[in-house]
Amino acid sequence: QVQLVQSGAEVKKSGASVKVFCKASGYTFTDYYLHWVRQAPGQGLEWMGRIKPNSGGTDYAQKFQGRVTMSMDTSISTAYMDLSGLRYDDTAVYYCARGLWDRYFEYWGQGTLVTVSS
């Protein structure tokens, strides 16, 4: 069965960077896009960007351009999301999600809580 397993919770200082991983299993990693979506406490879902595992091509939401980098290692079916210049309002649960291209998200990881503190 399809599974997306994410790395554990992180606590970071303001201005630091965080790297979250998402390990996929149960399907051919290069056949589907991998998206990142975040959710601040008590707030809605926010699309951050995605990577095309077959090419490594990325597209980022305008809001995160310059601060986010998405990458992957196809040999271990793992995607990474690196967010730099962390601010307090980056405190959120970060999800990876398998997408049928950019149309919808069929499977989601369990989420990774990133807390930005002083």
Which of 55, 89, 103, 118 is in the footprint of another protein by CB under 8 A? 103
- Separation in Å, CA 33 to CA 56, 86, 106: 10, 25, 11
According to DSSP, the β-strands at 18-25 and 112-117 are: unpaired
Shortest Cβ 14–another protein spacing (Å): 25
* Rounded Cα–Cα distance for residues 8 and 91 (Å): 14
Contact flag: residue 63 with another protein (CB under 8 A): yes
Contact flag: residue 104 with another protein (CB under 8 A): yes
Shortest Cβ 58–another protein spacing (Å): 11
Shortest Cβ 98–another protein spacing (Å): 10
Of 40, 7, 56, the closest CA to residue 48 belongs to: 40
Contact flag: residue 45 with another protein (CB under 8 A): yes
Of 80, 83, 99, the closest CA to residue 34 belongs to: 99
Binding site for another protein (CB under 8 A): 35, 37, 44-47, 50, 59, 61-63, 95, 97, 100, 102-106, 108-111
